[in-house]
Structure 1
Amino acid sequence: MTIRLGYQIPNFTYPDTPVDRLFETVVAQAREAESSGFDTVLVMDHFYQLPGIGTPDNPMLEAYTTLGALSGVTSTIQLSTLVTGNTYRNPAMLAKTVTTLDVASKGRAILGIGAGWFELEHQQLGYEFGTFTDRFERLDEALQIIAPMLRGENPTFSGKWYRVESAMNNPRLRPTIPIMLGGSGEQKTFRMAARFADHMNIICPREAIAHKVSVLAQRCEEIDRDPASLPTSFLASVVLTDSDEETKRILDGLPPEVQGRLFIGTGEQVAEGLKRDILDQGITGLTINMVLNGHVPGKVTQAGEALKPLVA
């Protein structure tokens, strides 16, 4: 398993689209991604929309219900979260959930997981948020349960946060299911990735990518793991336009902090920027989202055709 070219769907607010047609728009994007060269489709594991994309009350579909439904309308593309909030789910239950997704999709599930961070969701929905240290302790314990369960082992574990006793996980389709960690923490997240992960989605400003890749390699070497055995990806926000005039018009309507995070332009211009700023810095795979116009028919196809030569 690897993610060379992923398409993330983080937004479910579409113009002139009532709720009874909302999921059709999601399906259309996933199918376009599958047919145009993307190897993975990903959704966020959130219950409220995130700052920077919308307001908390904007539509947000539950991640694993969405992925399960997408498994029935796609056939080859891998399915994952970017990433599951560990604080929202009991780890044994999460192992069961992603394994069921793998069976339903005939072997296309990836477990994306992270420590959790969106405090508003925790407060309003009754999940324990805890301290930064608490959340990473919980993630470490959870992975000690989840990873063996995905391999078909029956772990017994008793920790500060979680316990299982000879935990079973049947049925299973594959010898294991890949684990992807998401984050940027050099001391905690990267060390857990070196121990447990098959893939690392690095989250950081683009100017820090080369440094993060170097530190992740060090964490692998510290436990005698070949850094090449831990492929990486980076999430980029993309807006495809048809002309420089359209690019300027969109940028003029966005605050500077948003402009600085975007890769915007024609397919050729966006591909050039992603290669220079991400792939040439040592990242091995790309995941993009298209919040502004990914729902427009043909835009995901346009992106796939422009970007798949970068990761071929």
Structure 2
Amino acid sequence: MTIRLGYQIPNFTYPDKPVEQIFDTVVAQAREAEASGFDTVLVMDHFYQLPGIGTPDQPMLEAYTTLGALATATSTIQLSTLVTGNTYRNPPMLAKTVTTLDMVSHGRAVLGIGAGWFEREHNDFGYEFGTFTDRFERLEEALNIISPMLSGENPTFAGKWYKVESAMNNPRYRKRIPIMLGGSGEKKTFRMAAEFADHMNIICDRADVPKKVAALRQRCEEAGRDPATLPTSYLAMAVIVESEEESKRMLDSVPPDRLNRVFIGTAEQVAEQLKHDVIDAGITGLTLNLVRTGHIPGAVAQAGEALKPLVA
């Protein structure tokens, strides 16, 4: 398993689309991605829209219900979250959920997982948020339960946060479902990725990519793992426009601090930026979202055509 070219759908607010057509628009994007060379479709595991994309009251679909439905609407593309908030689900229940997704998709599920960070969701929905340390302790305990369950083992585990007794997980479609960690923490997240993950999705400012790649390699070496056995991808928010003039206008309208993670320009310009700032810095794959334009027919295909050569 690897993610060479992923398409993330983080936005369910579509101009001129009534609420009852939201999922139809999601399906159209997933099918267009599948037909355009993307190998993975990913959705966020959130209950509210995120700051920087929209307002909390804007539409947000539950991740695993959405992925299960997309499994029946697609045939070859991998399906994942970017990423599951560990704090939102009991670990063996999450293992069962992802394994069921793998069954209904005929072996296309990837477990994307992270520690969780959106405090308002926790408070509003009644989930314990805890401290930064708490959340990473919980994530590591969860991985000690989930990883063996995704490989057909029946773990017994007793930790500070979770306890299971010979937890079974049947039926399974594959011998092992791959695990992807998402985040940027050089000490905790990267160490856990080196120990548990089949893939690492790095989320950071473009200028920090070389530093993150070096840190991940170091964590792998410390764990006795060949860094080449842990493929990576980078989450990029792209705004693809039709002309250089439009690109210049868009660049002038974006606050400088946002430009650290947003790639703006024509499809060819965005591809050039991603090659220089991400691929040439040592990342092996890309995950792209098109927050403003992904719902427009043809937008996903245009991005796929421009980006496929970078990860071929």
TM-score range, shorter chain: over 0.9
Matches of 1:15 and 1:237 in 2, distance apart? Answer: 19
**Is residue 2:213 matched to residue 1:216?**
no
Corresponding residue for residue 61 of structure 1: 61
Corresponding residue for residue 117 of structure 1: 117
Matches of 1:85 and 1:72 in 2, distance apart? Answer: 24
Matches of 1:302 and 1:30 in 2, distance apart? Answer: 14
Instruction: Give how far 1:203 is off.
Output: 1.4
Matched position secondary structure for 1:281: coil
Matched position secondary structure for 2:264: strand
For residues 1-312 of structure 1, what are the structure 2 equivalents within 5 Å? Answer: 1-312=1-312
Instruction: Give how far 1:259 is off.
Output: 3.7
Instruction: Give how far 1:265 is off.
Output: 1.3
Do the aligned partners of 2:238 and 2:288 also contact (CA within 8 Å) in 1? yes
What's the CA shift string for 1:209-250, capped at 9, x where partnerless? 111111111111112111000000100011111111222333
Matches of 1:131 and 1:255 in 2, distance apart? Answer: 31
Change (3 A) 1:260 1:141: closer
Amino acid at match of 2:294: G
Larger mean CA deviation between 213-222 and 170-179 belongs to 213-222
Matches of 1:293 and 1:230 in 2, distance apart? Answer: 32
Matches of 1:148 and 1:260 in 2, distance apart? Answer: 37
Q: Please, what is the CA RMSD of the aligned residues?
A: 0.9
Matched position secondary structure for 2:73: coil
Matches of 2:52 and 2:246 in 1, distance apart? Answer: 22
Matches of 1:187 and 1:241 in 2, distance apart? Answer: 38
What's the CA shift string for 1:159-215, capped at 9, x where partnerless? 110010000000001010000001111111111001000000111111111111111
In the alignment, structure 1 segments of 5+ residues that lack a partner are none
Matched position secondary structure for 2:76: coil
Instruction: Give how far 1:264 is off.
Output: 1.4
> Could you tell me the TM-score, scaled by structure 2's length?
0.98
Matches of 1:256 and 1:217 in 2, distance apart? Answer: 30
Instruction: Give how far 1:261 is off.
Output: 2.6
What's the CA shift string for 1:53-102, capped at 9, x where partnerless? 00111100000000001000000000000000000000000000000000
What's the CA shift string for 1:247-283, capped at 9, x where partnerless? 2333344333334432111111111100000000000
Do the aligned partners of 2:205 and 2:260 also contact (CA within 8 Å) in 1? no
Amino acid at match of 2:269: Q
What's the CA shift string for 1:112-152, capped at 9, x where partnerless? 00000000000111000000000000000000000000000
Amino acid at match of 1:130: G
Do the aligned partners of 2:49 and 2:55 also contact (CA within 8 Å) in 1? yes
Matched position secondary structure for 1:110: strand
Aligned residue-pair number = 312
> Could you tell me the TM-score, scaled by structure 1's length?
0.98
Instruction: Give how far 1:16 is off.
Output: 1.1
Matches of 1:222 and 1:244 in 2, distance apart? Answer: 46
How many percent of aligned residue pairs carry the same amino acid? Answer: 77
Matches of 2:36 and 2:66 in 1, distance apart? Answer: 21
Larger mean CA deviation between 44-53 and 258-267 belongs to 258-267
Instruction: Give how far 1:3 is off.
Output: 0.2
